[in-house]
Amino acid sequence: MKNAYFIILFIVSSFAFSQNNHIVKTDDGRRVLLKADFTWEYIDAETPKGNNIVKEVAKSSKNKSCELPADFKEPELDNKIQNQLKKGRATMSHVKLKVAKDYKCSVDDVLLLSVSEQKSKGIYDFCANGKRVTYKRVGNSIIENGKLF
């Protein structure tokens, strides 16, 4: 009797694994259905809002210097995410401290230009000592974008 239940369970579970359609998630959070005939379609009709805060800043692409308007304000951060990052010491104050240490300046000289932040990862643009730099956070690890170590 146990063998019969085992065989039925095996056959039923094999049907679940034999489907060819897959649902994947893109970097911006939208879900996509990949079909067996090599076509795809979005499942979510619109992009989720998430916690993306982007501020347009006048920037020079060649020398990567910061050209800020006189009335520039740092973007507002999501307090819910910042409270969750306190345990891992990855809040904005910790990120600014790391940038100031890397560029040998004070924390007051580091300005946040733009942020794209989620609970598990984040990308931050700063102006440190008049130079535009980008840092990324994966979990609680903070590193300059483009560097491995």
Q: How far apart are CA 118 and CA 54, in angstroms?
A: 13
107 contacts 97 by C-beta, under 8 angstroms: yes
Residues 125, 132: contact at Cβ < 8 Å? Answer: yes
Separation between Cα atoms, residue 115 and residue 66, nearest integer Å: 16
- In 18-137, alpha helices (H): 79-84, 92-102
Please tell me the number of Cα atoms within 13 Å of 109 on its side-chain side.
Answer: 15
Q: What is the DSSP letter of 109?
A: G
| CA atoms of 128 and 64, how far apart (whole Å) | 11
CA distance 6 to 19: 21
Per-residue pLDDT of the chain (149 residues; tens, 9 = 90+): 888 888 888 887 776 666 667 788 888 888 888 887 778 888 876 544 544 444 344 333 344 678 888 888 888 888 888 888 888 888 888 889 999 999 999 998 899 998 988 888 889 999 988 889 999 988 888 888 877 65
